[in-house]
Structure 1
Amino acid sequence: MAQQKSILDRYLTFTSSSSGANGDVDAHAPTAAEVGVEAGGSNVRVVTFNGDGAERGTTLMKYTKVVRMVRDYTLCLRFNVHLFRILNAVIYFLTATNYDEDPISFEVYFEKIRTKFGGRGRFYPLPANLGTNKWYHYCQVRDMTGGEGRVYLDGELIVREKVNFLADPKPRDVVIGQDQFKEKYQSQYSYSGKLSQVNVWGRVLSQEQIQSVSRCEVDLEGDVLAWSNPWEVQHVQEQVVALRELCGSVSRGRLVVPLPLLRYHDAVYVCKGLRGAIHDPATPDGMLKEFEYLKGIGGCERQWSAVTDEGHENLWYNPFTNAYFNNSQLFFRINNPDGDKYQNCNRLRWEGLEDTSCDQHSCAACHTPADSTWTLRGICEDEERMFYFNLEARPLGFFGFGEYAVEKMDDGGWMWYNTVTNTTMAILPHHHSNTSVAVSTTAALARYTYPMGRLTWETKMEVCGQAPGPRVLTLSPCTTSEFTCSDGVCIPFARRCDLRFDCEDKTDESLCDIINYPADYRSRLPPRPASDLALAISVSVTMDTLNVDTTNMLLSVTYNLRLTWYDNRLTYNNLKKLARLNSVSQEQAEMLWRPTLSFLNTDNIQNTAVDSDAVTTVIMEDENNVPDLSNPYEVEIYQGDTNPVSTTRKYHTVFTCFFDLVLYPFDIQKCDMQFQILSASSEYLIFNLSGSSVEYMGPKLLVEYRIGKIDLDVNNATQYSGSRVRVELIRRYGYAILNIYVPSFTLLIISYLTLFFRAPIFEVRLNTALTSLLVLATLFTQVSASLPKTSYFKMVDVWLLFCILLNFLIIIWHTVIDLVIDYGDGFSGVSGSSPYGDVSKTWAHPPPPKEAARHIEVTQVRPMQTGGTPDSGKGKTFLSALRLPATNFDFHFYIKTSKITTSAICLVFNLIYWGTLSAGSGLMYYT
């Protein structure tokens, strides 16, 4: 076991060491002498409490005077915590007559602070967790005039609240470093760290004054309590340091960790595991400075530079910065590089860089951030402070915010132990075997002699309920937004389980299960919300293609159906903003409860399928997460009640529809896709309308229809909740116009034009009208055959029937006109012997009858009267009966009447017909 160096000695050395001889700190705080020249020589007293981390009830400071803080006051101090306890007692103003009565105090916790204004105390969260070995400036203000209590940390206002303060005339004793309870100090809360500049003013300091003090620009002394006045001290260490050193140590710069003799690649791996970098000095001064960092370390006469040209000769690559250089850009010694492909690495020489074999052993100076917080994952602690550590360079070790430390043992192995109880928790043997990852490179083998990364330790105490034995632990400097590869390298946490390898050991794509199932999880039972209401399920339908069969009244749809719900029984690991990266494996999905839907308006009433085609993902809606530090594989835990789970599957379903074809071909149809929850009744499961959606991704124009509005509605009032996607289909009437209305209207015009033919050519007029009627009847039959059989008339039927009836009316008019024309006396029925000559002209300008008689000789031929037969009289009577009775109108009147009435009927019908279609049909549809 290692010789455990005194934590107090190490702590004092750590905060007061410089980089000149030891090289531990690259950018260090100015010394007292330097401050005296540059900052005016202002020095302050610094007091250390329990520097070894032990719990003592005797380590304290007490002000030699009694103070009164009657009305307004400002309390300021500067603190530096070395070891966080459950409660860190900083300062108490205790009533002199009764220490338990209404104290004024300030207590420090790892993630919060607690301030008491005369008994009234509250916990206040901090913008960020506090760190160890860092100076913080704290101010507490009681403003009775303004009725406010304010708290400042490092000059920034973090608390401001309205408080009705009362005057406080009590005399108070001031105690630093101990918590008083019933006249006894609580050693478990004793302060471990440093304090300085404790002052109290009997007034309210402005924010500008507080900021000036926090930045070490001024050193104001308090008028109620002054830090420079006498104090009673017990078991504390005092020293005087430069004021600027307190402010400068807030940011500790970089530590330089000396690495012993290693091959080049081993040194690179180890330094990356320390989150550091090996430098590549470009000047003689930089070269000398690098040598100073390893001064006094035996065997380190040779030292590695960062660059190598293994990938391409004379093209030097820096693995820490990913930058490339040629020979002229580096500080080589004369006649170097000269090793060609056999010497691809560089070591530092006084005269410059010298190329050498990468398999040689040299030391290296690893520059790593001094203020990095290291985390030991894989242990179980009630308090978060116990997981965090600071890195120390000489000797290399890790010292916790709590009682833990990790140090190197004499045999080369590492030990994790409790510094307060001196209990060994686990050891990491030298050249130990690692069961968590596969070792495939020599560099990896060398790196396992260091505790960084994810390694298998041998526990000596029970850890997380596991008996002593092998256990994987991860010691890493990675932040909460980063993931630790098994070799200790940090990558952005977003690259964890993103379907590509980012760690060289490929561990970032292992253990990527999303869902954590509790032991009592039942996949047959639906989740029960905390409100005890029905679980709301969101449905999302994304349609890719639509196909409509009008004859059979069917709608064929290819679509993606997504169901989304919350399961408060589950927690999820490492969610990403991109949902596809949160895919649940098939094995885990089979254990998951998922809702089952029925497709109602299908022939065989299909259901949703749960198979390999179903994709289950978790959607990250709430970015708040809790890091599980007890898991060595670094997981972020997300809650199931704020992050929904979703399952998506592609379906091709044929839905039955009910078309109303009255307005065909200008009809607008509405076809539904009906879904119903089968998993449970609406008392337990309902559809969530606000979270549901529908989208159509296919073409808007189909063969027969144009896609109109598509909406989604739900019905949770029935026994089983249902949802409906309604698709609006607007008939594309261009085909009907070209193939039905235009031909039929053309035939109607042709039939109507027969009214303008010459009256005597009855056969021509009649045959033309009959032909049009025959074609219309054929067209009517064809249109009816292409549509579903309905018991009602469609608008196209009305149109064609109208055309047929109007054509029939025209034929009737031809018959009437033919009967009106007198083919008897003076009319032989032959066009050439017509009493009017050219009938078309005669009807337009008929000559007077007398005038016609002068020019035309009419010879009447009558049959001989030979006694006849009885039938001859009957025939004459029958022919006479077919003629219309004599009227005062000649046939010109009937011709004009036929034209006017036919035109009027057609006009009135079209006004009514198209007027009816102008509203509520696809003829005048607007989206």
Structure 2
Amino acid sequence: MDGYVNTRPYFRGYYGMAIFNVGEGTWVLKDTMANLTLATMTMEQPEEYPLGRTVWDVLEPFCDFAVGDKINLGLSSCTIEEFMCSDGSCVPRNVRCNLREDCVDGSDENDCGIVLFSGRYASHRPPPGRTYREVLYIQPHVHIVRFSKIDDINLAFYMEFEVHLTWTDRNLKFKNIKEEEDKNKLSTEEVASIWTPEIEFLNVNDGLLKKLKSNVYARQTGEAEPPDFNDAMMETIYLPSSVALVSKTFYSASFSCNFYLFSYPFDTQMCSVLIELDSADTSVVNFINDSVIYSGLMTLPKYDITEIISQLAKKSDYAVTKVKFALERRWSLLVLTIFIPTILLLGIGYVTLFIRLAEFDVRTVMTLTTLLVLYTLFNQVSSDLPDTAYIKMIDMWFFFCIFLIFAVNILHVLVEHLPSGETNVFKISSNAENTLVSKLRKVTGPWTMKTVRVLVFPVVVFVFNLVFWLTIFTAD
């Protein structure tokens, strides 16, 4: 301020520019060196001063303005560390667009867009990499929130997760970026106007994929540019190298998994989610430095999550990242509901070998009932598993138990009808023959039953269990 004109302050600027009042609330911007009035502005109230941001009418061409243009000029005492409100008052620069009205007139929350577009921006094509001939690298990050269901029958798993894609758009500039990423959310109009990467999930099960929400944020990665004194809005500007764009999309989906159930229920399944970047091939865009985190429970109702990793998959045309995790089945309840009952049923079948030979009906009824219970249990367990072309170890367990009980039942029938021996070599009476056959039966029957229950049955059970459990715990 350099004196007064018409009882109003005379503002003198650099390069011979001046602002002063000419009466009736009209102020002019004049080039005193060329003696030209460049622009003029009339206040609504004659007694007001042109402080803050005001709109001026251009009368003479200057800078990049033509006659008839309307321009915003700012006049205040704000420093470079402050933001100028529309009325000329000053607030700290960092309160600009913080969702609270810190200016009296609320102008610090006006025009709070984040993205500054260039004149030639094209949203249909990916921006360049570090140079205009390099590949654009996108950093994927998968945040698994929870596993909602593991479906053994349909060979699928259901999960909720969020995919973050981070990239740098060198065709954009940004303004008023906050240190907290969540405060830099792009508007719907801005998201629709910029290029964003598109992904596809290659192993979605039956198309069960829901996009629950999607947002794009700006992440500050560098310092802002020095303040521009020609910017009447006094915005804080960031170059593309100082800001990264982050797309965050939340999904609920079902994915197929190739369950290998040979060792069921002592199996560990390796499942994965395949994410393909299908915006363009790898000569234009590519994945780099993928990562994954899991914030849910490590212990699920049927499984334990023992390992979660991510890795870039090799594919010739499009970039693919694979999120892999290990599902280790919790077998304690299955042992109680499958193996313990079958062992007890084998015990019942074994006990029938100790029943008197005269009680044939009792022995056969017990073994037949045990066989039926085993078969029913086998059907129940099989119904909880998918159909496979290969034989599972749990199938071998039930087959062994069923065949063993069946063999015991056949044994009971054979013992009841053992051959009497070569009685025709003896010249004995009919009564004597009956007596000899009876003695042979009494000797042969108990001896056979004793041999089976003392030697054959225990050895068969021991050998099978040895082979079975060695196969279970040494299988890959």
TM interval, shorter chain, is 0.7 to 0.9
Report how far residue 549 of structure 1 moved. 1.9
Q: CA deviation at 1:559?
A: 2.6
- The equivalent residue for 1:490 is 90
Cα deviation digits, residues 397-423 of structure 1 (max 9, x gap)? 6665x5456565574766655677776
Which among 462, 468, 474 is matched to residue 907 of structure 1?
462
Q: Any conservation in 2 of the 1:453–1:474 contact (CA below 8 Å)?
A: yes
Matched, 1:499 2:87: no
CA distance in 2, matches of 1:607, 1:751: 51
**Deviation by residue 1:148-167 (Cα, 9 ceiling, x = unmatched):** xxxxxxxxxxxxxxxxxxxx
Aligned to 2:216: 616
**Counterpart residue type for residue 491 of structure 1:** V
CA contact (8 A) 1:598 1:606 kept: no
Q: Does the 8 Å contact 2:174/2:240 carry over to 1?
A: yes
C-alpha separation in 2, matches of 1:519 and 1:535? 21
User: CA 1:525/1:728 → structure 2, altered by over 3 Å: closer, same or farther?
Assistant: same
Cα shift at 1:568: 0.6
TM-score (norm 2): 0.83
Which of 779, 790, 795 in structure 1 is aligned with 2:393? Answer: 795
Secondary structure at the counterpart of residue 223 of structure 2 = coil
User: 1:830-869 counterparts in 2 under 5 A?
Assistant: none
Is 1:559 aligned to 2:158, yes or no? no
The verdict on how the C-alpha distance between 1:678 and 1:864 changes in structure 2, with shifts beyond 3 A counting, is: closer
1: distance between equivalents of 2:317 and 2:461?
Answer: 55
CA offset digits 1:807-854 (Å, max 9, x no partner): 33444555676678999xxxxxxxxxxxxxxxxxxxxxxxxxxxxxxx
Q: Give the structure 2 partner of residue 466 of structure 1.
A: 65
Contact 1:601 1:656 in 2 (8 A): yes
1:337 — aligned with what? none
**Residue deviations 1:718-767, cap 9 Å, x none?**
11111122232222323422321121111112222333444543443343
> What is aligned with 2:139?
538
Equivalent residues in 2 for 1:571-610 (5 A)? 571-602=173-204
SS in 1 for 2:165: strand
Are the equivalent residues in 2 in contact too, given 1:765–1:814 (CA < 8 A)? yes
Give the whole-Å Cα distance in 1 for the aligned partners of 2:205 and 2:450. 60
How much has 1:561 moved relative to structure 2? 2.5
Paired residues for 1:18-33 under 5 Å: none
Q: 1:750, 1:772 within 8 Å by CA — same for their partners in 2?
A: yes
Deviations 1:525-561 (A, max 9, x none): 2111234321111222223343222111122333322
Cα deviation, residue 572, structure 1: 0.9
Q: Which of the numbers 612, 630, 640 marks the counterpart of 2:230?
A: 630
Change (3 A) 1:886 1:899: closer
Matches within 5 A, 1:96-107: none
State the AA in 2 paired with 1:579: E
Whether contact under 8 Å (1:599, 1:606) holds in the other structure is: no
Could you list the per-position Cα deviations for residues 700-720 of structure 1 after superposition, in whole angstroms to 9, with x for gaps in the alignment?
444433333222221354111
Label 1:397 to 1:885 Cα distance change in 2 as closer, same or farther (>3 A). Answer: farther
Larger-gyration structure (1/2):
1
The equivalent of 1:726 in structure 2 is 324
Q: Which residue of 368, 372, 394 maps to 1:770?
A: 368
Q: What is the distance in 1 between the residues matched to 2:16 and 2:310? A: 60
Q: Which amino acid aligns with 2:307?
A: K
* 2:252 paired residue number: 652
> Which residue identity is paired with 2:387?
K
Q: Secondary structure at the match of 2:283?
A: coil
Question: Hey, what's the Cα distance between the residues in 2 that align with 1:529 and 1:669?
Answer: 39
Question: 1:686 offset after TM fit, Å?
Answer: 0.7
| Matched ranges for 1:188-267 at <5 A | none
Judge conservation of contact 2:271–2:326 (CA < 8 Å) in 1: yes
Counterpart of 1:194 in structure 2 is none
What pairs with 1:437-456 in structure 2 (closer than 5 Å)? 449-456=48-55
Preserved contact between residue 619 and residue 644 of structure 1 (Cα < 8 Å)? yes
Q: Distance in 2 between matches of 1:545 and 1:396?
A: 67
Q: Residues 418 and 466 (structure 1 numbering): CA distance in 2 closer, same or farther, change over 3 Å?
A: closer
Check 1:605–1:523 CA distance in 2 against 1; reply closer, same or farther (3 A cut): farther
| Contact 1:572–1:638 under 8 Å retained in 2 | yes
2:266 aligned residue: 666
- Residue aligning to 2:426: none
Given that 1:624 and 1:638 are in contact with CA atoms closer than 8 Å, whether structure 2 keeps it comes out as yes
Report SS of the residue matched to 2:237. strand
Structure 1's 655 and 3: CA in aligned 2 closer, same or farther, altered over 3 A? closer
Q: Deviations over 1:677-702 (max 9, x none)?
A: 222111111111x2x33233444444
**Which secondary structure does the structure 2 equivalent of 1:467 belong to?**
coil
1:698 to 1:800, Cα distance in 2 relative to 1, 3 A: same
Which residue, out of 678, 688, 695, partners 2:293? 695
- Partner Cα distance (1:680, 1:643) in 2: 23
Answer yes or no: is 1:550 the counterpart of 2:152.
yes
Tell me by how many angstroms 1:631 deviates: 2.5
Number of residue pairs the alignment of both structures matches: 463
Determine the C-alpha separation between the residues in 2 that align with 1:541 and 1:757: 64
Q: How far, CA to CA, are the matches of 1:756 and 1:404 in structure 2?
A: 121
Cα distance in 2, alignment partners of residues 404 and 707 from structure 1: 74
Give a deviation string over 1:406-462, Cα, whole Å, max 9, x none: 565574766655677776655565xx13xxxxxxxxxxx69x823432223455554
Residue 164 of structure 1 corresponds to none
Deviations 1:473-500 (A, max 9, x none): 1223333343221122222222211223
- Give structure 1 stretches of 5+ with no counterpart: 6-259, 261-394, 434-444, 824-861, 866-872, 922-927
Percent of matched pairs sharing the same residue = 31
Task: Output the CA distance in 2 between the equivalents of 1:757 and 1:516.
Answer: 93
Question: Alignment RMSD, CA only?
Answer: 3.9
Q: 1:606 to 1:809 in 2, by over 3 A?
A: closer
Residue-by-residue CA offset, 1:311-334 (whole Å, 9 max, x unaligned): xxxxxxxxxxxxxxxxxxxxxxxx
SS of corresponding position for 2:327: strand
> For the structure 1 residues 558 and 809, does the alpha-carbon distance in structure 2 shift closer, same or farther, using more than 3 Å as the test?
same
Q: Call closer, same or farther: CA 1:659–1:864 in 2, change over 3 Å.
A: closer
Asked if structure 2 preserves the Cα contact closer than 8 Å seen for 1:687 and 1:716, the reply is no
Secondary structure of the structure 1 residue equivalent to 2:311: strand
Q: Contact 1:417–1:423 (CA<8 Å) still a contact in 2?
A: yes
- Change beyond 3 A, Cα 1:906–1:644: same
1:537 aligned counterpart, secondary structure = strand
**C-alpha displacement of 1:592:** 1.2
**SS of corresponding position for 2:126:** coil
Aligned counterparts of 1:608 and 1:519: Cα–Cα separation in 2: 36
Q: After superposition, what is the alpha-carbon deviation per residue over 1:7-28, rounded to whole angstroms, capped at 9, x for unaligned?
A: xxxxxxxxxxxxxxxxxxxxxx
Aligned residue type for 1:913: F
**Alignment partner of 1:902: what SS?**
helix
> Cα distance, 1:463 vs. partner?
4.6
Q: Which one of the candidate residues 106, 109, 112 is aligned to 1:509?
A: 109
Contact residue 224 and residue 236 of structure 2 kept, 8 A: no
- Whether the aligned pair in 1 keeps the contact of 2:159 and 2:254 (CA below 8 Å) is yes
Aligned mates of 1:905, 1:490 — CA distance in 2: 93
Kept in 1: contact 2:271–2:324 (CA 8 A): yes
* Matching residue of 2:424: none
Q: Distance in 1 between matches of 2:400 and 2:304?
A: 28
Contact conserved, 1:686 with 1:716, CA < 8 A, in 2? Answer: no
Q: Tell me the TM-score normalized by structure 1.
A: 0.45
Structure having the higher helix fraction is: 2
- Aligned partner of 1:781 in structure 2 is 379
2: CA distance, partners of 1:625 / 1:608: 41
CA–CA distance in 2 between the matches of 1:405 and 1:512?
31
- Structure having greater relative contact order (Cα 8 Å, sep ≥ 6): 2
